[in-house]
Amino acid sequence: MFVRFLDEIKGTEVPELKSKNSTEDQNIHIPVLEVKNVHKRFGRLYVLKGVDLEVSRGEVVGITGENGSGKSTLLKIIVGLLSCDQGEVRLRGAFGYCPQDPLLFEDLTMEENIEYFSAAYGLDRKEGVSRGNELMKILKCEQFREKLTKHLSGGTRQKLNLIISLLHDPDILILDEPYQGFDYESYLSFWEIAEKLKEGGKSILVASPMMYERRYLTKIYKLENGRLKK
Amino acid sequence: MNRTDKALKIFLSLKMQALEQKRKFTTLLTVFILPVAFWASLYYSAGEESTLIAVPTLNGDVQMLVPVKKSYPLDLGLMAVAWAMAVVAFFAESGSAEKDRRLVLCGYNPWQILLARSILLTGVAFITSIIPLTLFVPILSPKHPWILWLALFIVGLIALEIGLLIGALIPRHTEGILMIIALFGIGMSIQGEAAKFFPTYPARQLFRTGLFAEDPLALPFVEEGLLIFVILMMVATVFWYFMIRVHR
């Protein structure tokens, strides 16, 4: 079960908080993501004008901002889909990326997409399928496993998009509007997963123009005029 | 990761890409049927007049008087195969560029995806060369059917690289397909000295020699055709790699 998978994460990865001076306590504050003074422009349009960001282990960090404010650009620079004009990005450990537009193979089924991306992560077939099944169950979409992706609804495609980013148990999840098109139940499931991953010492960076569930977030930033503001 | 894992990744990519192509069966069938129907309508509506064409032989080019309808496959037949292969390769590349990038981001090596695609498309080129041969051999009675097959296979290989190159340079479907139509439209109509500069020229010469020559001249055209294929493959690979690279 996925819960067990999450419990495993919890059991193995989260150091218990002991004292302020303990090594484990220091480890927890080691940033898994560091973004320093990142600039990006497209032609004459300056999208990012010196963005600084740090995400430590066990943190859920939200980035909000208007449409076109540069949230997706920042996330693409972090994962390496775009280069930055200036600045530095440091990612420690494995990351999972959930793009805003689900980049899925339309003529493959949900199951086949999962198998394909599992192989990309280096998981063996059995392991990938088992994790995919657990995640499909949690997100309530296992009945569509044999359906071609092009025939799935927008919300289910987005669930598959999210499942793919979670398959390999990443240290940090980078999510670009991960719950658009979700029904309310799935939306709540998403935040439950986020909460469990957080408890397991995993980090999450989530960008969305709408950030209602602030109680789950450790930090929240607003991207405005190319800069992040708390 | 050991060698077996790498091989498994390539195999899985090959399997998934083949599944995708299989599920586009109707589109692909249309792509293949259109030029065959075009050629058949021309063949059966042609009169009994003859035309003079230059046929490469071991003793140099020989001018031969051949029935017009037998000369149609020289350009149209070859271009039909080239068009079909280029379109298949174009769709395989342009439709999956962003998804390939995601696979690379997740851990696939770009070369693994490319190798799988090349194996798949070479297999399609092989099948594509066999299908028209089953029409050409009984209808045209070529002197050397195996040279005809070589011409069709080589033109398929060259065209698949052209399709991949266009897919990397112009990934939008409408513009890309229009570019392929324009390119092979030129290929069908180009004649004389100018034809020598068209990439499918060696295949065309092979086709002529295989169809009409008693003492065919094949080897130089096979070498030239394979050289063009390799050069186009290198250029297409560079552009594709540039398109899907990640900045890390």
Of A105, A116, A122, the CB nearest to B5: A122
Q: Do A103 and B8 touch (CB under 8 A)?
A: no
Q: Where are the domains of chain B?
A: 3-244
When pLDDT is cut at 50, 70 and 90, the band that residue B4 belongs to is: low
More confident residue, A34 or B70: A34
pLDDT for A112-156, tens place per residue? 999 999 999 999 889 999 999 999 998 889 999 999 999 999 999
In this predicted structure, the answer to whether residue A204 has a pLDDT above a threshold of 50 is yes
Q: What is the pLDDT of residues B71-91, one digit of tens each?
A: 776 677 888 889 889 999 998
Minimum CA–CA partner of A89 in chain B: B248
A35 close to A43: Cβ distance less than 8 angstroms: no
pLDDT over threshold 90, residue A83: yes
Tell me how many domains chain A contains: 1
Region of poorest pLDDT, from A26-30, B41-45, B62-66, B144-148: A26-30
Provide the pairing of β-strand A95-98 with A172-176.
parallel
The pLDDT of residue A2: 42
Which residue in B6, B26, B106, B248 has the most chain A C-beta atoms within 10 A of its own C-beta, making it the best mutation to test that interface? B106
**Residue A189 CA from chain centroid, whole number:** 15
Which of B7-11's residues contact partners 24+ apart within 8 Å by CB, and which partners? Answer: B8/A119, B9/A119, B9/A120, B9/B108, B9/B109, B9/B112, B10/B112, B10/B115, B10/B116, B11/B116
Closest CA to B16 of A80, A119, A103: A119
Record: contact B1-A122, CB cut-off 8 A = yes
Residue A19, domain member (yes or no): no
Looking at residue A56, its amino acid is: S
State the Cα–Cα distance between residues B230 and B158, nearest whole angstrom.
8
The 10 Å Cβ neighbour count of residue A178 is 24
Higher pLDDT pick, A22 / A86: A86
Q: How far apart are CA B16 and CA A108, in angstroms?
A: 7
CATH number for the domain harbouring residue A203: 3.40.50.300
What does the alpha-carbon distance between residue A161 and residue B102 come to, in Å, rounded to a whole number?
A: 11
- Asked whether the beta carbons of residue A79 and residue B8 sit closer than 8 angstroms, the reply is no
Q: What predicted TM-score, i.e. pTM, was given to this entire model?
A: 0.84
Mean pLDDT, rounded, for A180-184: 85
Give residue B2's pLDDT: 55
- Residue range of the domain that includes A81: 2-13+28-224
What percent of chain B is predicted at pLDDT more than 90?
Answer: 50
Q: Identify whether A229 is part of a domain.
A: no
Asked, for residue A230, whether it belongs to a domain, the answer is no
Return d(Cα A128, Cα A158) in angstroms, integer.
Answer: 19
Residue A69 lies in a domain: yes
B175-212 as b/e: b if 16+ CB within 10 A: ebbebbeebbeebbebeeeebeebbbbbbbbbbbbbbb
More confident residue, A41 or B171: A41
> Does residue A195 belong to any structural domain of this protein?
yes
Mean pLDDT computed over A26-33: 72
Residue A9 has pLDDT above 50, yes or no: no
The answer, yes or no, to whether residue A19 has pLDDT greater than 80, is: no
In a domain, A154, yes or no: yes
In a domain, A18, yes or no: no
Measured distance CA(B125)–CA(A86) in Å, rounded: 46
Sign of CA dihedral B26, B27, B30, B31: negative
Place of tokens 């340079």: B169
Coil vs helix vs strand at A130: helix
Preferred mutation among B99, B104, B112, B245 to probe A, highest tally of A CBs within 10 A: B99
Output the six-digit token pair for B234. Answer: 């290198």
The pLDDT tens digits for A217-228 are 999 999 999 999
Question: Is A21 a domain residue?
Answer: no
Kindly provide the ipTM of the predicted complex, given to two decimals.
0.84
